[in-house]
Amino acid sequence: MFTPRLIAKKFVAREQGEGAGARVHRSIGTTRLRNLDPFLMLDEFNVGLPGGFPDHPHRGFETVTYVLPTSKGHMCHEDFLGNKGELRPGDLQWMTPGKGIMHAEMPKSEVPSHGLQLWINLPSSSRMIEPRYQEISRDTVPHAFNEDKSIEAIVFAGEVFGKRGPIETQAPVTYVHFMLDKGAKLEYPIPETHHVFVYAVTGTGKCVDHSIEPHEAIVMEMKGDGVLLQADENDKLEVIVMTGEPLEEPV
């Protein structure tokens, strides 16, 4: 019998300024939730030129940039090592800065790019490694389905419905985009040692017995088998579920 984890904290991510003229909904990394080991920050961005995130440094933590499949715009990135590329709707970049990197992330045009950026603390043993990129395209990322096809999972890290994500993580972490049809119910098992964070992207539904809506952030308790989600009977529901084993190390 599946015993769902209960909700420890739930709140709506407020919009704030970030970068150069950009606006984000920040959930992790605020006064409401300073961090959730190993996760340090989560922003939902929706930005077009001239806004963006010009040259800035990273060191000691990983950044995960996901352009949502429904985004109208693209994101471009470039660093001081000469690496450059473009993230299309549905693409994800998992950057491990290691000992440090300077880079920029800017929308390709005035058409807004809609996505999420997550920061993950690195184990101390990995903080001085060489910078590394893992770029996963929308064409190659595994898509998994439940038996009746009412739930689709885009699996970047971890395993769902028999499909394993391609990302090699520095610490035990999962990252999955779930899309539930109207009325669909998901029981998603979670490793018992992992912290769990759910972010609602679109639609309405319930997490355990609490209603959820877009921009809502949910921290689950540690006790229980996993996450229980259900879309409303008249609406679909999309969420990102992130889980990670606490490092218990300084940032």
CATH (domain of 28): 2.60.120.10
Residue the block writes with tokens 């109208």: 72
Model confidence at 168, pLDDT cuts 50, 70, 90, reads: confident
**116 and 47 inside one domain:** yes
- Report pTM: 0.94
Q: Using one digit for the tens of pLDDT, what is the confidence trace for 187-199?
A: 999 999 999 999 9
pLDDT of residue 20: 65
| Residue at 240 is within a domain | yes
**How much of the chain, in percent, has pLDDT values that exceed 70?**
99
| Residue at 1 is within a domain | no
| Residue at 249 is within a domain | no
**31 and 132 inside one domain:** yes
The residues near 142 (Cβ < 8 Å, ≥ 6 apart) are 154, 155, 163, 164, 165, 166
Compute the average pLDDT of residues 158-183: 95
pLDDT of residue 59: 80
| Last residue of one domain, picked from the residues 136, 171, 202 | 136
Alpha-carbon distance of 47 to 156, in angstroms, equals 23
**116 and 153 inside one domain:** no
| Residue at 3 is within a domain | no
Calculate the alpha carbon distances from 210 to 47, 63, 138, 139, 236 in Å: 30, 30, 32, 35, 16
**98 and 112 inside one domain:** yes
| Residue at 28 is within a domain | yes
Whether 21 has a pLDDT exceeding 80, the answer reads no
Instruction: Tell me if 58 is assigned to a ligand binding site.
Output: yes
DSSP string of 99-155?
T-EEEEEEESSSSPEEEEEEEEEPPGGGTTSPPEEEEE-TTTS-EEE-TTS-EEEEE
Full domain range(s) for residue 39 = 15-136
As a whole number, the mean pLDDT across the chain is 92
pLDDT of residue 198: 99
**126 and 150 inside one domain:** no
**101 and 170 inside one domain:** no
| Residue at 9 is within a domain | no
**99 and 148 inside one domain:** no
Instruction: Tell me if 221 is assigned to a ligand binding site.
Output: no
| Residue at 6 is within a domain | no
Instruction: Tell me if 130 is assigned to a ligand binding site.
Output: no
**116 and 147 inside one domain:** no
Q: In total, how many domains does the chain have?
A: 2
pLDDT of residue 242: 98
**34 and 130 inside one domain:** yes
Whether 23 has a pLDDT exceeding 70, the answer reads yes
Compute the average pLDDT of residues 104-116: 88
Compute the average pLDDT of residues 105-116: 88
143-171 as b/e, with b when 16 or more CB fall inside 10 Å? Answer: ebebeeebbbbbbbbbebbebebebebbb
| Last residue of one domain, picked from the residues 136, 157, 184 | 136
Instruction: Tell me if 56 is assigned to a ligand binding site.
Output: yes
Alpha-carbon distance of 146 to 139, in angstroms, equals 20
| Residue at 145 is within a domain | yes
Most confident of 30-34, 44-48, 54-58: 30-34
Most confident of 49-58, 112-121, 218-227: 218-227
The residues near 81 (Cβ < 8 Å, ≥ 6 apart) are 101, 131
| Last residue of one domain, picked from the residues 101, 136, 171 | 136
Give the CB-side neighbour count of residue 209, counting CA atoms within 13 A: 1
Contact (Cβ atoms closer than 8 angstroms) between residue 152 and residue 196: no
**170 and 129 inside one domain:** no
Length of the chain: 251
**119 and 152 inside one domain:** no
**67 and 156 inside one domain:** no
**How much of the chain, in percent, has pLDDT values that exceed 90?**
69
Q: Using one digit for the tens of pLDDT, what is the confidence trace for 118-166?
A: 999 998 888 888 888 889 999 999 999 999 999 999 999 999 999 999 9
